[in-house]
Every structure is written in structure tokens, then in C-alpha cells.
Amino acid sequence: MKNWTDLLTQRHGRYYESGDSQLVLPAPVSEQAISEFKRSTGYHWTEEFCDLYSHHDGVGLALPNQEMAWQFLPTREFHGFSVLIRDWFVKTHPSIAEVYYPFFDWGSGDAMGYLDLPDVRRGVLVEFEHEAYEFDAKQPWSSFLKQSHDSIRSFLTI
């Protein structure tokens, strides 16, 4: 299996090579920091997620004269990003909001992450689509939180 740096570099080449963005792959998160991160979030992150972050603490795009555009968020930014995404639907779907763990920012208001529910297979990526959200408690959560990829690796290879 290819390593994370190769997968991330290849994905960047497929989607951003013709643009002005530069791929940013920060230093890894230490094993101790990953343990502290898991404890602070209260979620049992997948082995795949921990493996990715043990290679790079996030994945970003450096754009000329702009702030860093993080795709895979650095662990230090998870809390604020999670609050931002969950705030969309916490009033109408509070029990779902508390078990959604977004870690990928599409840069459009949409996000991708894990949903900790018994009927969602562990490790499957779930996308929040803000355009599909209706601010209605009667709306099924599955209409705005959709299973999208079987794993982080499968997402990176499309």
C-alpha cells in the first residue's frame, strides 16, 4: 500500500496541479499527542485516521496572498471546526450533532468526517452538505449527512 505522503501528493496533482496552490504537509502528531487528542475529543478515532495524522498533522493548500486553506484540519483546529459545522444542525438534530466528528473542510460550508452511530460502519466517511440542510427538526438527518467513502484511503484515490 502506498504511504500517506504519496497518496496526498498524487491527489493534489490530480485536482490542483494546474492551479497556483502548493500542497502543505505539516509535521506528524506524536503518539502521545494523538492519545491526548483522542481523550480530549471523547471519540475513538479509527486506526486509519491516527495513521494519517501520525504522518501529517493536517493537509493544506497554500494559495498566493491568501490564508492557508486546510482540507484535513490540523488537530489544534478540530474543536473550532467541529463547533462551526455542528452549529448548522445542533438545534434541530442535537443527538446527531454530538456524534458527528468532521475533520475535512471542503471550503464551502460542507465538511466530511465520521458519524458515531451503530448503523454507520466505523471508518466510513460522512459528508455534511449544508445546501441539503433545511433547518427543520422533521428532516431526516440522512438527507444532509450522507455516507460518501468507505475510508480515507478510498477518498484519496478517487
Task: Write phi, then psi, for 115 (nearest 5 degrees).
Answer: -120, 115
Amino acid, single-letter form, for residue 125: L
pLDDT at residue 15, rounded to an integer: 87
- Nearby residues of 41 by Cβ (< 8 Å), 6 or more positions away: 78, 101
pTM: 0.94
pLDDT at residue 2, rounded to an integer: 60
pLDDT at residue 1, rounded to an integer: 42
pLDDT at residue 66, rounded to an integer: 85
Q: What is the pLDDT along the chain (158 residues), one digit of tens a residue?
A: 469 999 999 999 888 877 788 999 999 999 999 999 999 999 999 999 999 999 999 999 998 888 899 999 999 999 999 999 999 999 999 999 999 999 999 999 999 999 999 999 999 999 999 999 999 999 999 999 999 999 999 999 98
pLDDT at residue 119, rounded to an integer: 94
